[in-house]
Amino acid sequence: MIGLISATAAGAAARDRLAAAWPGRTRVYEGPVGEAVRTAFAECEQLVCFLATGAVVRLLAPLLGDKAADPGVVCVDEGGRFAVSLLGGHGGGANELAREAGELLGAEPVVTTATDAVGLAGLDTLGLPYEGSVATVSRALLDGEPVALEAESAWPLPPLPTSPQGAYTIRLTDRDVAPGEREVLLRPPSLVVGVGASRGAPVEEVLGLVEGALREAGLSPRSVAELATVDAKSEEPGIVAAAERLGVPLVTYSAEELAAVEVPHPSHAPLAAVGTPSVAEAAALVRGGELLVPKRKSVREDGQAAMATCAVVRRPGRGRLAVVGLGPGARDLLTPRAAAELRRASVLVGLDQYVDQIRDLLRPGTRVLESGLGAEEERARTAVAEARKGHAVALIGSGDAGVYAMASPALAEASEDIDVVGVPGVTAALAAGAVLGAPLGHDHVSISLSDLHTPWEVIERRVRAAAEADIVVTFYNPRSRGRDWQLPKALAILAGHREPTTPVGVVRNASRPDEASRVTTLAGLDPATVDMMTVVTVGNTATRIIAGRMVTPRGYRWQERTQEGAR
């Protein structure tokens, strides 16, 4: 919950804008501000105070506790010009909150945490448990000292400016080692502990078994991602409580699913009791991975029969492939989500000219794999291969990456062992539409005139279908050197079904510094003025030029009405 506190009318107005934009996320604290700040500080994870920083500092001073537990606090000034991340920049999420609030209020976010200021990911913000001297190693990164990354498991970390060797180390490991003086340990959630228990098994017995198994195998409990068992044991108190004490979820599988898993130590007892020859090993292995600790039984001090079993598996880290559309060119048409994914990826794959477009957004340490025109298949394969190694990869494309671009070749290569995230971008047809007026007000299609990937007969059939159906058409890849007859041919097909006066919009380099556009007609268009940086939008029989803008009515009735009105 985000607590909102204000003192003045201007503050209250800004406060209400945040409350309206974030339904269910905020709580307004009214009344005297001192009391309001104290209550909100105790009740909320984050605070936005529409108050002077000085006032807030004085109010917060006696309340400050642990950096890890205190809420993040953002102050917004009376004029709504700045959103200051005051407290809990990383752990409290105040830097992010200042950015979000700033965006909504039109205020400049003010962030002073060193790692953010230079674009480094804070080691304490990676979403992984960590041990060791974060401050020391972060400072070394900031000072440009060599810091080595020793990743014993694959994990999709954000970019970190590390070196092959260094006096400082960031170690990604699930092994139970202690951090060195100049070392930070990051704990990937790579371990799955399968557990079985007979009815009434005490929590101490289950937990003792699990902790003992991890200890003897030299594994860190902080890397345990989940406890896994069979459905029938989903409410077994000893197992449920053990998961709770370890602070991990309990995941259960059907006996049928577990029975299908091949395990080294099947046995009769669980088969008779719950219908699968293995619970612990099968539940640990069911989603794949390497068996580190085969099934073992608890040992009871009273000499009674063991009531619990467990097995430990290490799962490979899942890589992450973000397919990111950069928009048509202008920086402010690149979405905030796309920018966030570019900063999130440690590996960036793309066409060199697109990489140049966004290089300044990348964090230090990002590995850039750029290639020239035409290497599409290779780029797709590279991006997927890097993700399958466990990296966080961004594959970029202009406009929308799914429109005549990289998303489909990449996803054709991708397997289920990686996570895929798509970020939509403003495609050229939309960017051009906004420049031209409202040409896409009714049904429309995009057709690429490039016969590189598609036989011309197929393209021609689609142009004909659009012509017959009276649909507005945007031509991508309309014309290039050596590919000059396709556009006239396509326009001729449309002209068979539309008047010579049908409006046509030509937009070159939409949203880029040298943007140029013109509205003409089917008869008036000179194909020689069209090139590969251009899209051509041909109206339907209802499209009109109104005040120099291309407008396709939302329906044919509207057209009748406006024509009657004009009469």
**Which residues here bind ligand SAH, judged by CB under 6 A?**
328-329, 397-400, 403-405, 427-428, 431-432, 476-478, 507-512, 532-535
- Residue 505, SS3? strand
Q: How far apart, in whole angstroms, are the C-alpha atoms of residue 229 and residue 150?
A: 32
Neighbours of 305 (CB within 10 A): 8
Give the relative orientation of helices 237-246 and 203-217 as an angle to the nearest 10 degrees: 50
Q: For strand 534-538 and strand 168-172, is the pairing parallel, antiparallel, or unpaired?
A: unpaired
Q: How far apart, in whole angstroms, are the C-alpha atoms of residue 545 and residue 538?
A: 12
Residue whose structure tokens are 């590996």:
347
AA identity, residue 562: T
Q: How many CA atoms lie within 13 A of 270 on its CB side?
A: 28
**The two structure tokens encoding residue 232:** 């029938």
Q: How many residues does this entry show for the chain?
A: 567
**The two structure tokens encoding residue 226:** 């989940």
Q: How far apart, in whole angstroms, are the C-alpha atoms of residue 253 and residue 255?
A: 7
* Burial tier of 287 (Cβ tally within 10 Å: 0-12, 13-18, 19+): middle
Q: How far apart, in whole angstroms, are the C-alpha atoms of residue 5 and residue 49?
A: 5
Which residues, other chains included, contact 263 with Cβ-Cβ below 8 Å and sequence gap of 6+?
Answer: 277, 278, 281, 282, 285, 295
**The two structure tokens encoding residue 418:** 């990686």
Residue whose structure tokens are 């807030």:
56
CA neighbor of 260 nearest in space, from 276, 284, 244 = 276
The CA-atom distances, in angstroms, between 562 and each of 378, 492, 559, 565, 567 are 53, 29, 5, 5, 9
- Residue 42, SS3? helix
**The two structure tokens encoding residue 304:** 């009674």
Q: Are 74 and 44 in contact (CB under 8 A)?
A: no
Q: Are 332 and 358 in contact (CB under 8 A)?
A: no
Is the backbone of residue 473 left (phi > 0), alpha (psi -120 to 50) or beta? Answer: beta
Q: Are 318 and 365 in contact (CB under 8 A)?
A: no
Q: How far apart, in whole angstroms, are the C-alpha atoms of residue 34 and residue 56?
A: 9
Q: Are 455 and 489 in contact (CB under 8 A)?
A: no
Sequence-ordered strand ranges (E) for 116-237: 130-132, 147-151, 168-172, 183-186, 191-197, 224-230
Radius of gyration of the chain (CA): 30
